[in-house]
Amino acid sequence: MSETWIIIGGWFAAGLTIFMFSFLYKDNPFFKIAEHLYLGAGMGWLFQVSLYDVWIPQVWDPIMQGKLLVIVPALLGLSLVAQFFPKISWVSRYGFTFVMGYGAGLAIPAVLSTDFMSQVAGTIEPIFKIGGTFNTVSAWTSAFNAFFIFFGLICVLFYFFFSVEHKGMVKKASTVGIYFLMLYFGAVFGNTVMGRFSLLYGRFDDLYFYSSSKYFYASQIIALALVIYFIIEHFTSKKRKIQQEAK
């Protein structure tokens, strides 16, 4: 790609970014165009990656080399599309059965081992490791933390345990459980703020990049054009309103 194309690309990038952000002021045709382009481009990208990374090397090439067994999963995959045609939608079940059965079979041992057994072990192990002399602050804090996690987990589990009525000790434990959950959700919220800002920073940084003289001030010119559009649109819509009221 020549330098000219890179500059044109910069104008596209700056323009589409500003069109998307224009929704924050109010809904407008430029945002709608960018939104619809995104839907199409997302699908187009997915399509081309599937074509060149999976279909051609994993289905087409083997068939061409005479490895015909690969036709079976390809047909099962194509059967999924039958969902669109009510009369033969049942055909798609064959594709789904493979994926669902296989996924379910692998998931059971994996989640039970990783997210259940290991987590129970991870809570109990540190308690058994407590021992020796408590002559350092860190020995005391790690012992405290081990018990605190154990205690917190039990309380949280009580909160999620709906088979008994929450009253008496159960209620107390589940209330403490809520505090642990609140600390967790607070941490998640705090981190979410950083995450969202990082994404925004990324876009602003790009806009700043395209505002340079190398890109012929793409960001500034497009932003200014959009502001002018909004001003004109404001007055014409006002005029239209007055005319309608006069009628």
Footprint on residues 165-184 left by other proteins (CB under 8 A): 177-184
Question: To which residue do tokens 């490895």 refer?
Answer: 67
Span interacting with other proteins, options 81-89, 163-171, 230-238, 239-247, rule CB under 8 A = 81-89
Of 110 and 242, which has the nearer Cβ to other proteins?
Answer: 110
Counting residues that bind other proteins (by CB under 8 A) gives 130
DSSP classification of residue 228: H
**One-letter identity of residue 155:** C
Return all residues near 107 (Cβ < 8 A) that are at least 6 apart: none
Query: Does residue 224 interact with other proteins by CB under 8 A?
Result: no
Query: Does residue 60 interact with other proteins by CB under 8 A?
Result: no
DSSP classification of residue 114: I
Upper half-sphere CA count for residue 243 (Cβ side, 13 Å) = 6
Radius of gyration of the chain (CA): 30
Residue of the chain from 81, 228, 232, 242 that contacts other proteins (CB under 8 A) = 81
**One-letter identity of residue 87:** K
CA angle 193, 46, 200 (to 5 degrees): 20
- Each residue 6-25 as x (binds other proteins by CB under 8 A) or -, in order, gives x--xx-xx--xx--xx-xxx
**One-letter identity of residue 116:** F
Of 160 and 246, which has the nearer Cβ to other proteins?
Answer: 160
Query: Does residue 190 interact with other proteins by CB under 8 A?
Result: yes
Site for other proteins in 119-158 (CB under 8 A): 119-123, 126, 145, 148-153, 155-157
Instruction: Compute how many other C-beta atoms are within 10 angstroms of the C-beta atom of residue 152.
Output: 18
Span interacting with other proteins, options 54-62, 127-135, 165-173, 224-232, rule CB under 8 A = 54-62
Site for other proteins in 31-50 (CB under 8 A): 32-50
Query: Does residue 226 interact with other proteins by CB under 8 A?
Result: no
Question: To which residue do tokens 């323009």 refer?
Answer: 15
- Shortest distance, position 64 Cβ to other proteins, whole Å: 13
Question: To which residue do tokens 């049942």 refer?
Answer: 90
Residue of the chain from 129, 134, 140, 195 that contacts other proteins (CB under 8 A) = 195
Residue of the chain from 134, 186, 228, 233 that contacts other proteins (CB under 8 A) = 186
- Shortest distance, position 166 Cβ to other proteins, whole Å: 15
Separation CA 225–CA 44 (nearest Å): 30
- Shortest distance, position 246 Cβ to other proteins, whole Å: 26
Upper half-sphere CA count for residue 160 (Cβ side, 13 Å) = 7
* Residue 94 near residue 79, CB atoms below 8 Å: yes
Residue of the chain from 52, 134, 216, 230 that contacts other proteins (CB under 8 A) = 52
